[in-house]
Amino acid sequence: MKEFVRYIPPIHELQRDARFSTLTQTYGIDTTEMSTILKNIVSTIREQLLNGCWEGETPGSQPFLEELFQQTEYELAQAYQYTIKRVINATGTILHTNLGRARLSQNAMDHVIQTAQNYSNLEYKLAEGERGSRHVHVEELIKRLTGAEAAMVVNNNAAAVYLILRALAFQKEVIVSRGQLVEIGGSFRISSIMEESGAKLVEVGTTNKTHLYDFEHAVTEDTAMIMKVHTSNFKVIGFTKSVETSDLVDLANQHPSIIFYEDLGSGALYDFSQHEIGEEPVVSDVIKQGVDIVSFSGDKLLGGPQAGIIAGKKVLIDQLKKHQLARVLRVDKMTLAALEGTLLDYSKGKDAIQTIPVVRDLLATKKELQIRTDQFIDRLTQQSSGYTATSREATSQVGGGTMPDVELPTVIVHIKSESMSAETLANCLRTENTPPIVGRIQKDELLLDLRTVTVEEEDMMIHALVSIDRMMSKKL
Ligand SMILES: *Cc1c(COP(=O)(O)O)cnc(C)c1O
């Protein structure tokens, strides 16, 4: 094989070939870029020839040129493809952090497109023809939905926590219960963010129990804040005690200079507990109890874009808006549009709330899922004889570190293929299909939970399963 190396055409000759120059035009690249791509491909082939492991066509032949061309076309297609891809989430985990958390509602999406494609009054007062503030757009809606005096939005809830500590408790003491010093998804720790902000953490109580007197004893002249953190992603059970929000409000009220801040984490605007789903506090109830300031995520239970929403007393929000960091942490117009669209859905009442995918998926009942799952199985087995599919009762997770103890009763599809392992099938669905489909594997069966799948996506999944089976059976 080694001697064939010299039959590989030189790069400049390949570049002149009409097929390659057409590719250059199709992708709008210049000859230097094309030459780099060709050099890379050719050097790999040369290496394989020299090592005796080249399995392709013989250099010098027409089929070899054709192979080279196909390889180049493939490399270009790869290089010019989006790396963020739409994915079908068949895991049933609604706020799947790795798959982008919340899906946006139609209204939110329409509003984003309008705002992104056109000029807008982002920072412009139309009535006066003067410069305005981007903060005004969602503030009224947040006030209406939470009952707060004022509100603002930053990049995410981590940014909100940081801004609040930095702007309102810099070099002052912040009292937090040891049971609430949480770490959230990867790199966000309350204790670290506190240190980063320049506020001084004063830990009180123990991991499982903190009493009101622990807080009372910790108050000093340097106390700027009492902070309550919603333990979103874990639950302490057994011999436990935490202090009620109302008691902490009373304590903070006895000291006019102390701010009471509650990091709500998810921040539900809708009361899921009325459907026996979790015990997530509704933001307006927390505000009603007299908390000075709260913050929560836009893309967790709320079901909107990534954002950190801060709501509370006007004097405090004004201070935050004026802080230099507000500019550093500010959100883009697309985020504001997506958030405004989502919040408007909430303000329009029950039916509109159901158009928010996160809410709809959370409220989907086992009965609905049973019907959809049975239909899915019928259609799949009618179109392909390569699978055994059965429906089983199971539970779906909320995800995103939210409601860790909630198990949503569901019905899922268990699939076994005649021609391949569950592992291979799951791999094919992720890598061979557009859009990629992500399911779960359990005991050599592929598990698909339709809770997080739309009706349109069901069709795509059936199509994918049928064609993968056809492809694999051919290979056998
Ligand atoms: C999720 C969460 C955060 C971080 O919110 P992001 O919007 O992901 O930045 C902060 N605090 C709590 C309690 C959380 O649950």
CATH number of 88-95+362-475: 3.90.1150.110
Q: How far away, in angstroms, is 251 Cα from ligand 1 center?
A: 25
DSSP assigned state of 451: G
**pLDDT attached to residue 400:** 84
Domain 106-352 class, CATH top level: alpha beta
The verdict on whether omega for the bond into residue 9 sits within 30 degrees of 0, i.e. cis, is no
SS3 content of the chain, % helix, strand, coil (to 5): 50, 20, 35
With a 6 A CB cut-off, is 230 part of the ligand 1 pocket? yes
Ligand 1 atom nearest to CA at 161: 10
> What does 378-442 look like in DSSP terms, one character per residue?
HHHHHH-SSEEEEEEEEEE--BTT-STT--EEEEEEEEEESSS-HHHHHHHHHHTSSS-EE-EEE
With a 6 A CB cut-off, is 420 part of the ligand 1 pocket? no
CA angle at 144 for the pair 403 and 134, rounded to the nearest 5° = 95
* Confidence check: pLDDT of 126 > 80: yes
With a 6 A CB cut-off, is 308 part of the ligand 1 pocket? yes
Residue type, 82: Y
The CA distance from 325 to 337, in Å, is 22
* Confidence check: pLDDT of 301 > 90: yes
Q: Output the residue whose Cα is nearest ligand 1's atom 13.
A: 265
Q: How confident is the model at residue 113 (pLDDT cuts 50, 70, 90)?
A: very high
DSSP assigned state of 204: E
Strands 223-229 and 200-204, sheet pairing: unpaired
* Confidence check: pLDDT of 476 > 70: no
The number of CA neighbours under 13 Å toward the Cβ of 93 is 18
* Confidence check: pLDDT of 186 > 70: no
Q: Output the residue whose Cα is nearest ligand 1's atom 6.
A: 157
Q: How far away, in angstroms, is 310 Cα from ligand 1 center?
A: 12
Q: How far away, in angstroms, is 243 Cα from ligand 1 center?
A: 21
Ligand 1 atom nearest to CA at 297: 7
CA angle at 342 for the pair 336 and 346, rounded to the nearest 5° = 135
Q: How confident is the model at residue 232 (pLDDT cuts 50, 70, 90)?
A: low
Residue 79 token pair? 């290089």
Ligand 1 atom nearest to CA at 182: 13
* Helix locations, 236-365, DSSP H: 245-254, 283-288, 314-322, 324-328, 333-347, 350-353, 357-363
**Average pLDDT of the segment spanning 378-396:** 96
Q: Output the residue whose Cα is nearest ligand 1's atom 7.
A: 157
**Average pLDDT of the segment spanning 436-460:** 97
Q: Where exactly are the structural domains of the chain?
A: 2-79, 88-95+362-475, 106-352
Residue 426 token pair? 């799951």
**Average pLDDT of the segment spanning 458-466:** 97
Q: How confident is the model at residue 117 (pLDDT cuts 50, 70, 90)?
A: very high
Q: Which of 192, 264, 184, 271 is nearest to 230 (CA)?
A: 264
Q: What percent of the chain has pLDDT over 90?
A: 77
* Confidence check: pLDDT of 80 > 90: no
Contacts of 80 (CB under 8 A, 6+ apart): 27
Lowest-confidence region among 170-174, 205-209, 264-268: 205-209
* Confidence check: pLDDT of 184 > 80: no
Q: Which of 344, 357, 350, 259 is nearest to 303 (CA)?
A: 357
With a 6 A CB cut-off, is 188 part of the ligand 1 pocket? yes
Strands 440-442 and 200-204, sheet pairing: unpaired
DSSP assigned state of 132: -
Q: What percent of the chain has pLDDT over 70?
A: 99
Q: How far away, in angstroms, is 134 Cα from ligand 1 center?
A: 23
Q: Output the residue whose Cα is nearest ligand 1's atom 8.
A: 157
Ligand 1 atom nearest to CA at 233: 15
**What is the pLDDT of the chain when averaged over all its residues?**
93
Q: Are 170 and 143 in contact (CB under 8 A)?
A: no
Q: How far away, in angstroms, is 328 Cα from ligand 1 center?
A: 18
Dihedral sign computed on CA atoms, order 45, 50, 56, 57: positive
435: number of Cβ within 10 Å: 14
106-352: same fold as 88-95+362-475?
no
Lowest-confidence region among 21-35, 378-392, 426-440: 21-35
442: number of Cβ within 10 Å: 12
Q: How far away, in angstroms, is 329 Cα from ligand 1 center?
A: 15
The CA distance from 24 to 28, in Å, is 6
* 434 backbone dihedrals φ, ψ, rounded to 5°: -120, 120
Residue with tokens 């969602």: 138
pLDDT digits (tens, 9 = 90+) for 311-331: 999 999 999 999 999 999 999
- Ligand 1: residue of 192, 232, 301 to mutate (most ligand atoms within 8 A of CB) is 232
The CA distance from 420 to 469, in Å, is 9
Pick the more confident residue, 418 or 238.
Answer: 418
Q: Output the residue whose Cα is nearest ligand 1's atom 11.
A: 265
With a 6 A CB cut-off, is 156 part of the ligand 1 pocket? yes
